[in-house]
Amino acid sequence: MNIKNISLRRMKLKLKDPFQTSFGTQTEREFIIVEVQGENHVGYGECVVNSAPFYNEETVKTAWHIMEDFLIPRIYSQSEINHPDEVSKLFKPFRRNNMAKAALEGAIWDLYAKENKITLSEALGGSKKSIDVGISIGIQPSVDELVRVVGKYVNEGYKRIKIKIKPGIDVDALKAVRKQFPTIQMMADANSAYTLDDIEIFKELDQLNLMMIEQPLAHDDIIDHAKLQSQIKTPICLDESIHSLEDAKKAIELGSCRIINLKIGRVGGLTESKKIHDYCSEKGIPLWCGGMLESGIGRAHNIAITSLSNFTLPGDTASSSRYWDEDIVYPEVTAVEGVIQIPETPGIGYAPQKELLDKYTEEVINVGC
């Protein structure tokens, strides 16, 4: 691949509805789009960082700095990149900053697939033609409102409903949903809001036939999660705690989780994602693809990785229309009855629209070679 230019765009999109989790309420989404210009094609990646370091330690500003001053020069230092798997090796000397690494690597994966006239799904070794998706519902102002919102998405056909919880908004809220919808596939995501002192809450949640409980305990813990898992029958799914294949191996070996939520940004890119996929497949640990309230570019990458065979559970890649009045890609990402077709055009398969990119860009830089 002959890389001629790399540009970074800081973007801002307004969320249709505020999204509340145990770490706060989000009303808009600030993120970075990476464009890698090759000989005849442009590869696109999305950096899924947030403005503030609540979910992980990275921010829009740190990711911009790490990409501009370290990662992009490292790409140019290489006379030629033949395959995107080489990129994570190039980035290895730099610790963490996984979302910054994943964004650049993702754009190079897209460019590689476009240059080879194959889909990103094919480039990654995906085999599915369509994927099942669920939806993640933020904390609602009341239990009645939660039940109403769940009903709306159940009617739209989403294959499983994930509900955010935090101390004080957990057992009663989920019981009310379960009572109204006795047979839906549902789960809870705590975003690390609890400790082992809350064991009684987990024992109550354990009675609600949940598919799993996502990241109940500390973001950097795998010991307490193993203790909790030994005391409840509902599978624990780890999100925040897994940053690499190594983390996945340790958590699985310790019994800290029975399911993993894979986010490409959190683990540093698609190459690491494939490794985690293959390892989990070997160990019988099911995966699903999480989300970071991405624009269509990030969602396109999520769709491609979900086409790999061990993504056996519905992920969080809901339709564009759930997040935005207007997405930046054509066609917009659309789930029909909870199913998204894997696109058939080369690369990510959704075309970023220049005028929409420009419309929502706050700042742009070109980093030439």
Query: How far is it, in rounded angstroms, from Cα 282 to Cα 203?
Result: 30
Minimum Å distance from CB 50 to ligand OSB? 7
Residues comprising the binding site for Mg(2+)?
Answer: 189, 214, 239
Give the H/E segment covering residue 81. none
Angle between helix 296-306 and helix 98-115 axes, rounded to 10 deg: 70
Q: Enumerate binding residues for ligand OSB (CB under 6 A).
A: 55, 136, 189, 191, 239, 290-293, 316, 318
Q: Which does 293 bind (CB under 5 to 8 A by kind): Mg ion, ligand OSB, none?
A: ligand OSB
By C-beta, is 121 or 136 nearer to ligand OSB? Answer: 136
Q: Which is nearer to Mg ion, 214 or 247 (CB)?
A: 214
The percent of the chain in helix, strand and coil, each rounded to the nearest 5, is 35, 25, 40
Which residue is closest to ligand OSB by CB? 291
Could you say which of Mg ion, ligand OSB, none residue 269 binds, taking C-beta under 5 to 8 angstroms by partner kind?
none
Binding-site residues: 189, 214, 239
DSSP 236-255: EEESTT--SHHHHHHHHHHT
Given a contact cutoff of 8 angstroms between Cβ atoms, the answer to whether 295 and 326 are in contact is no
For residue 334, give the amino acid letter.
T
Q: Which of 101, 114, 159, 164 is catalytic?
A: 164
Query: Considering the complex, what minimum distance in angstroms separates the CB of residue 234 from ligand OSB?
Result: 17
> Which of 46, 105, 110, 239 forms a contact with Mg ion (CB under 5 A)?
239
Transcribe 313-359 into DSSP letters: S-BS---GGGT-SS-SEESPP--BTTEEEPP-SSBTSSEE-HHHHHH
Binding segment for Mg ion (CB under 5 A), chosen from 109-117, 139-147, 181-189, 268-276, is 181-189
Toward ligand OSB, which CB reaches closer, 14 or 89?
14
Residue from 46, 189, 221, 272 binding Mg ion (CB under 5 A): 189
CA gap 369, 364 in Å, rounded: 16
Q: How far is the CB of 152 from ligand OSB (least distance, A)?
A: 15
Is residue 164 annotated as a catalytic residue, yes or no? yes
> Of the residues 89, 263, 274, 359, which is catalytic?
263
Q: What one-letter code names the amino acid at 356?
A: L
Q: 118 or 232, CB closer to Mg ion?
A: 232
Nearer to ligand OSB, 136 or 229 (CB): 136
The pair of three-digit structure tokens given for residue 145, joined into one six-digit string: 């409102």
Q: Give the Cα separation of 238 and 215 in Å (integer).
A: 5
316 scored as a contact of Mg ion (CB under 5 A): no
Smallest separation, CB 261 to Mg ion (Å):
6
| Closest by CA position to 297, among listed 5, 1, 2, 13 | 13
Which residue's CB comes closest to Mg ion? 239
CB 287 within 8 A of CB 310: yes
> Which tokens hold the place of 182?
């006795």
Report the partner that residue 256 touches, choosing among ligand OSB, Mg ion, none (CB closer than 5 to 8 A by kind): none
Q: Which partner, Mg ion, ligand OSB, none, binds residue 46 by CB below 5 to 8 Å per kind?
A: none
- Is 250 catalytic? The answer is no
Q: What is the dihedral of CA 230, 235, 241, 246, to 10 degrees?
A: 80
Give the amino acid at 240.
Answer: E
- What residue ranges bind Mg ion (CB under 5 A)? 189, 214, 239
Catalytic center residues: 164, 263
